[in-house]
Each structure stands twice: as C-alpha cells, then as structure tokens.
Amino acid sequence: MAEPAHNSRGAAQRYGARPTMKDVAARAGVGLKTVSRVVNGEPGVTPDTMQRVQSAIDALGFRRNDSARILRKGRTSSVGLVLEDLGDPFYSSLSRAVEEVARGYGSLLFTGSSDEDPEREQELTLAFCARRVDGLVIVPTSFDHRYLEPEIAAGIASVFVDRPAERIDADAVLTDNAGAVREGVAHLIGQGHRRIAFIGDQPRIHTASERLRGYRETMAAAGLPVDEAWVSMGSTAPERVHAELSRMLDDPQPVTALFSGNNRVTVAALRVLTASSRPVALVGFDDFELADLLSPAVTVVAQDPARLGRTATELLFNRLEGETGPPRRVELRGRLIVRGSGEIAF
C-alpha cells in the first residue's frame, strides 16, 4: 500500500497492462468522447463510426473499466456485508437474502467475516468504505461504532442487523430476542420443569445477553429461583458446551430441561443429550435443517435470518434513495415451533 504510484512488480506487469479508451480512439481515428459514447451506449454516433470503434475495441481487447465511471458518478453500486461467519448456516441464509435485495437494486456485494473480533470488524468495514461501497449491512461485534462516524458523515449509508450499533445512533433490524426466549422458557415451565438450564454465547454479545435476560425474567415471573450453576455463558465451541452441560447433568440435583442460546449450542448439546441415560427437555434458539428428523425432533424458537437480511437491505436502499428521518429500529418476532424435545415432561 505504501508503494509509489507507478511502481510495478513483475506480476503487476503481467496482470496490469490493459488497453485504454485513448488506445481505442487512436486506433479508430476518432476522438475520446466518441469512444466514450460507444462504450456507454450513448446516442450521437453514426453506425459507421460505431462500427470502426467496435472493431478497434475488439482488436485491442478493450474492456470498460467501471472504476473510472464510479469516480465520476460518486456511486459504486456495491454494498459491503460484515457478519460473524459466512460459514454459519444462520449467516449464509442472511447473506443470500442481502445479495438478492442488492441485486434487485443493481448492486454487487462484498462479504467478510469478523469472527467476533471487533478489530477485524473495523478493519473490514473501513476497507469496504475505502472501496467506496454505497452502503453497509453490519452484524456488529464491536462495542463502539464511533469509528464509522466520519464514513457516515461522508455519505455511506449503514444498517445494523441481528444486533444494534454501539455508541452511535443507526438503523437496526433485530429479532425480539428476550421476547422469543420468554416464550420458549415459559413453554418448558408449562411442561412442569423447574430446574431449567440456560447455555448461551459470550455475554458481551448483545443477542446473548438479551436472551439471558429473557430467561431470567421468565423464571422470576414464574417465581422460580435460578441456581447460578444452571447458567453458562461463553464460547459456543462444542468442547465447552459438552463440558458445561455434562456438569449440569451430573449434579446430584440435575437440571431436567435446557434452553440453548443459539444453533451452535443446540447442535453441541444434542450430542450430549443423545448420549444421556435420562431424557432432558430441550428448546433451542434458532431453527436448523433436519431439526424435524431427529428423535425426538427439536423444539425451537425460530428467527427468520432471510427476513432479517431482506428487511435490513431494503432499509439500506431506502436510505440511499433519499429517505431521511431519525434512525429506525425494526424488531421482528421469533416463533415457537413445537416438535417434541421441548414437550418432554418433568
């Protein structure tokens, strides 16, 4: 990045020598403006001249370069999507929905995974800004988004999805996480369970702390005490989930039900529960493929990742098309899907 502008490495020579519009103009014996008209499909060129220019384009292998036009027009028709992990099914559904909406507006999509690393989020986001994306859709992991203020002031639209922005006011599309958990935990209480475990993600993650809040509120509202040994927040790595759930099940007074805080926890917990001698009720946050084919089939409170992605991206393009007004927060409801594992009675 610190190379002088005209330095060219060996590889750059091989991959960099492209014919320009000037070359086309010289070969066709016309002015630059005429070549530009042909390339951009503008009127005012005779068929004969158009033919001469096209021949020169073909002979030289000239290809239009959007970068130059982008510099002139101020819009790049591209959107940057920053999320936690492109390889996680929840985010791949969300990404696909963002891509579809962006495509409807003629926009291409940059994607990048933050891996729950705030520095990596910032690095990716600013790299997208330096490429002059028109807008950003961000699943945030940072505690402080003030680093985006100069970008937003410079005109980059941004919408946060799944989790809100921190320390700046910005559009956000979220699931009502606490509300969805309340429904799931109340369902377990309704089956007679009193000793209900909650295993969730890192508590610094907004969705994780909101879900924990939903659990605590529901237990409190039902007059049920929470033993802190039943609550475990941290990495969703299978090893950690295995260890924590095994500890809770091996207790002399074991938990009889589990609310798992996201699909990574649910999948890891299923491996422990399948090996368990005693049936343990389970409600998971987030639906997942094949949940209906397991035995018992897995009861979940489902978010709709595609709808989160679609709604956020529509909001982004509304802003780009001139919608003003204060930042908006859209909350989508979760949905309890009853399948069997959550109906194992105490």
Q: Which pairs from 122-127 meet CB under 8 Å and 24+ separation?
A: 122/147, 124/80, 124/82, 125/80, 125/82, 125/151, 126/151
- 60 secondary structure, DSSP code: H
Nearer to its own copies, 35 or 219 (CB): 35
Helix (H, G, I), strand (E, B) or coil at 201: coil
Residue 172 near residue 165 (C-beta atoms within 8 A):
yes
Residues 19-48 contacting its own copies, CB under 8 A = 19, 40-42
* Rounded Cα–Cα distance for residues 306 and 67 (Å): 31
Task: Output the six-digit token pair for 135.
Answer: 């807008």
Terminal alpha carbon distance of the chain: 63
Q: How far is the CB of 28 from its own copies (least distance, A)?
A: 17
Residue 163 near residue 208 (C-beta atoms within 8 A):
no
Contact flag: residue 325 with its own copies (CB under 8 A): no
Contact flag: residue 321 with its own copies (CB under 8 A): yes
Site for its own copies (CB under 8 A): which residue of 156, 178, 272, 281?
156
Site for its own copies (CB under 8 A): which residue of 44, 46, 47, 87?
87
Q: How far is the CB of 263 from its own copies (least distance, A)?
A: 9
Nearer to its own copies, 8 or 235 (CB): 8
Q: How far is the CB of 205 from its own copies (least distance, A)?
A: 19
Nearer to its own copies, 66 or 119 (CB): 66
* Rounded Cα–Cα distance for residues 297 and 18 (Å): 58
Q: How far is the CB of 162 from its own copies (least distance, A)?
A: 16
Residues 262-281 contacting its own copies, CB under 8 A = 267, 270-271, 274
Nearer to its own copies, 132 or 213 (CB): 132
Residues 114-143 contacting its own copies, CB under 8 A = 124, 127-132, 134
